[in-house]
Amino acid sequence: MGEPECRALEGEDDATLMAGIAAGAFRAFRTLVERHRDGVMGLAFRVTRDRGEAEDIVQEVFERVWTRASAWRPRDDGRVFAWLARIAVNLAIDRLRRPRPRRLDEVPDPPAPGFDAEQRLHGREIGRRITRALATLPDRQRTAFTLCQIERWSNADAADWLGVSVGALELLLVRARKTMRRELADLMGDEP
Partner 1 sequence: MTLDDFEGGLDRYGVDLADWPDGVAAMARALLADSAEARALVETRLRFERLFAAPTPPPAPSVDAILRVATARPRRRGDALSQRWLRWIGAEAPLGLGWRPAAALATYLAVGLLTGFLTGSLSGEASPRLPVLTAATLNFVDGSALDRAGVLDD
137, 180 Cβ separation under 8 angstroms: yes
Contact string 112-131 vs partner 1 (x = CB under 8 A)? -----------x--x---x-
Distance CA 139, CA 132 (A): 14
Residue 24 or 163 having the CB closest to partner 1: 24
How many residues touch partner 1 (CB under 8 A)? 49
Residue 106 per-residue DSSP state? G
Cα–Cα dist 84/62, whole Å: 8
Report DSSP letters for 117-158, one per residue.
Answer: HHHHHHHHHHHHHHHHHHHTS-HHHHHHHIIIIIS---HHHH
Q: How far is the CB of 51 from partner 1 (least distance, A)?
A: 5
42 makes contact with partner 1 (CB under 8 A): yes
| Residues within the interface to partner 1 (CB under 8 A) | 24, 26, 29-30, 33-34, 37-38, 40-42, 44-46, 49, 51, 54-55, 58-59, 62-63, 65-71, 123, 126, 130, 148-150, 154-155, 170, 173-174, 177-178, 180-181, 184, 187-190
